[in-house]
């Protein structure tokens, strides 16, 4: 089976068997763990390919403290490193953060603070943060095409 | 296989494209040469099909049209997603008058006559750093702003 693997530097595709113990076949550095995408906790040591709910993993050491800035305010939350930008967006516009109505929320996108590039919504926060434990994002109005 | 078709096929097997398929964000429904039809599902579950003419890919941008896979024809405007940015990109004026093309800089037909977009929206203008995934991703992003879709476009 194909596994889509991200870490602090890269995104890649690897092949594993359903019966493979993932921690045995995916190389890890000291302190690193495997996290299913958008899951809150790391994989159990004996997890095999067939145990995965999603075939998307993150290889990393740390949870990431994400700060989202919007309209002069900041909300923060610690995410597992395999949390996607789409998951962060869902939290940021939701009732536990800026609590925006769906129409306003749909017009907003996330960018890394100081960047003008919109983020790949499938990127993991652990990849964007690199070796840091923190990530600053701006919630901004998406481009409107007129003229 | 011509170079543009080979380049398209290569990007349809890329990690970014296949990861999106695995997430349920999009799927390739059909491909004939450089014309490919995709099913796209937004974060809020709204879904559409789109046909992309990728002649000259990747040197030339894809040219899109919303598609009815049921009828094997362009989707009638009365079924287009509307609301928020969707009303602008699936414009019931410009897009209707221009063969159903999405009104956005990535689109090969829409960029014609809209040179200011190149400086106003450089990250959404087609270039050698872009792939079919960027086009699909923008359509998916716009689709989530829609408050209305017709019966064919609704998610199952």
Q: Determine whether the interchain pair A4/B44 forms a contact, defined as Cβ–Cβ distance below 8 Å.
A: no
Given a contact cutoff of 8 angstroms between Cβ atoms, the answer to whether B58 and B131 are in contact is yes
Q: Is A120's Cβ below 8 Å from some Cβ in B?
A: yes
User: What contacts A87, CB < 8 A, 6 or more positions away?
Assistant: A38, A79
E strands, B96-152, are none
Q: Are residues A97 and A28 in the same domain?
A: no
Whether residue A68 sits in one domain with residue A124: yes
| Predicted local distance difference test score (pLDDT) of residue B155 | 40
Looking at the structure, tell me whether residues A31 and A69 fall in a common domain. no
Tell me, yes or no, whether A17 and A50 share the same domain: yes
Strands A134-141 and B26-32 come out as unpaired
Domains identified in chain B and CATH numbers: 3-143 (3.10.110)
With respect to residue A114, please indicate whether it lies within any of the assigned structural domains.
yes
Query: Which residue's structure tokens are 């009638």?
Result: B76
On chain B, the residues whose CB falls within 8 A of the CB of A9 are: none
Asked if A111 contacts A134 with a C-beta cutoff of 8 angstroms, the reply is no
Q: Collect all residues of chain A within an 8 Å Cβ-Cβ radius of residue B144.
A: 106
Q: Distance (Å, rounded) from C-alpha A122 to C-alpha A84?
A: 5
Which residues of chain A fall below pLDDT 70?
A: none
3-state secondary structure of B60: coil
Do A78 and A134 sit in the same domain of this protein?
yes
Q: Is residue B151 predicted with pLDDT exceeding 70?
A: no
Quote ipTM for the complex.
Answer: 0.86
Same domain, A23 and A76: no
Task: Write down the residue that tokens 């429904």 correspond to.
Answer: B29
End-to-end CA distance of chain B: 35
Q: Is A11 on the interface with B (CB under 8 A)?
A: yes
The whole domain housing A126 covers 64-141
Q: Does A107 touch chain B (CB under 8 A)?
A: yes
A7 and A46 belong to one structural domain: yes
A122 lies within 8 A of chain B by CB: yes
pLDDT, one tens digit per residue, over B58-114 is 999 999 999 999 999 999 999 999 988 999 999 999 999 998 999 999 999 999 999
- If asked whether residues A136 and A69 sit together in one domain, one would say yes
Q: Chain A residue closest to B117 (CA)?
A: A145
pLDDT, residue B149, reads 63
Between CA B50 and CA A25 the distance in angstroms is: 39
Provide the whole-model pTM.
0.90
For residue A105, give the CATH number of its domain.
Answer: 3.10.20.90
Q: How buried is B71 (Cβ within 10 angstroms: 0-12 exposed, 13-18 middle, 19+ buried)?
A: exposed
A47 lies in the same domain as A32? yes
Query: Which candidate, B28, B55, B54, places its Cα nearest to that of B40?
Result: B28
Give the CA distances from residue A31 to residues A70, A94, B156, in Å, rounded to whole numbers and listed in that order. Answer: 34, 33, 43
Q: Cα–Cα–Cα angle for A119, B47, B151, nearest 5°? A: 155
DSSP-derived pairing of the beta strands B63-68 and B73-74: antiparallel
B15·A4 Cβ contact <8 A: yes
Asked if residue A146 is part of any domain, the answer here is no
Rounded Cα distance between A130 and A122, Å, is: 15
Alpha-carbon gap: B82 to the closest alpha carbon of chain A (Å): 12
Report CB contact under 8 Å: A145, B105: yes
For residue A144, give the nearest of B15, B88, B123 by CB distance: B88
The answer to the question of residue A73 being in a domain is yes
Out of A4, A12, A143, the one facing B22 most closely (by C-beta) is A4
Kindly give, in sequence order, each residue whose CB lies less than 8 Å from that of residue A48, ignoring residues fewer than 6 positions away. Answer: A18, A19, A20, A21, A22
Q: Do A76 and A22 reside in the same domain of the chain? A: no
Q: What is the pLDDT of residues B126-140, one digit of tens each?
A: 998 999 999 999 999
The sign of the torsion formed by the CA atoms of B80, B121, A138, A141 equals negative
For residues B40 and B47, is the Cβ–Cβ distance under 8 A? yes
Does one domain contain both A30 and A75?
no
pLDDT band per the 50, 70, 90 thresholds, residue B3? very high
Q: Which residues of B75-91 are buried (b: 16+ CB within 10 A; e: fewer)?
A: beeebbbbbbbbbbbbb
Number of structural domains in chain A: 2
CB contact under 8 A, B124 and A117: no
Q: Look at residues A43, A60, A77 and tell me which one is the last residue of a structural domain.
A: A60
Q: Could you give the CA distance from residue A139 to residue A112 in angstroms, rounded to a whole number?
A: 9
Q: What is the DSSP letter of A91?
A: H
């Amino acid at each position: 089976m194909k596994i889509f693997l991200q870490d602090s530097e890269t995104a890649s595709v690897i092949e594993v068997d359903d019966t493979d113990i993932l921690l045995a076949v995916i190389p890890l550095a000291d302190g690193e763990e495997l996290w299913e995408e958008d899951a809150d906790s790391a994989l159990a040591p004996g997890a095999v390919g067939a145990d995965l709910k999603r075939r998307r993993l993150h290889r990393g050491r740390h949870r990431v403290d994400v700060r989202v800035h919007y309209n002069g305010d900041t909300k923060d939350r610690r995410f597992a490193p395999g949390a996607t930008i789409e998951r962060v967006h869902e939290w940021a516009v939701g009732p536990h953060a800026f609590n925006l109505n769906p129409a306003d929320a749909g017009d907003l996108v996330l960018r890394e603070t100081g960047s003008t590039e919109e983020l790949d919504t499938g990127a993991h926060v652990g990849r964007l943060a690199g070796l840091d434990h923190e990530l600053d994002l701006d919630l901004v109005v998406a481009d409107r095409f007129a003229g | 296989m011509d170079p543009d078709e080979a380049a398209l096929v290569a990007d349809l097997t890329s990690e970014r494209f296949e990861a999106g398929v695995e997430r349920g964000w999009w799927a390739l429904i059909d491909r004939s040469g450089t014309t490919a039809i995709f099913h796209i599902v937004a974060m809020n579950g709204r879904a559409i099909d789109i046909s992309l003419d990728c002649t000259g890919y990747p040197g030339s941008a894809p040219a899109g049209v919303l598609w009815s896979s049921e009828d094997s024809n362009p989707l009638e405007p009365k079924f287009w997603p509307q609301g928020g940015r969707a009303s602008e990109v699936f414009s019931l004026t410009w897009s209707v008058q221009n063969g159903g093309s999405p009104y956005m800089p990535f689109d090969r037909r829409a960029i014609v006559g809209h040179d200011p977009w190149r400086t106003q929206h450089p990250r959404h203008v087609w270039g050698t750093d872009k792939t079919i995934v960027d086009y699909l991703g923008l359509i998916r992003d716009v689709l989530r702003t829609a408050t209305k879709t017709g019966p064919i476009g609704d998610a199952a």
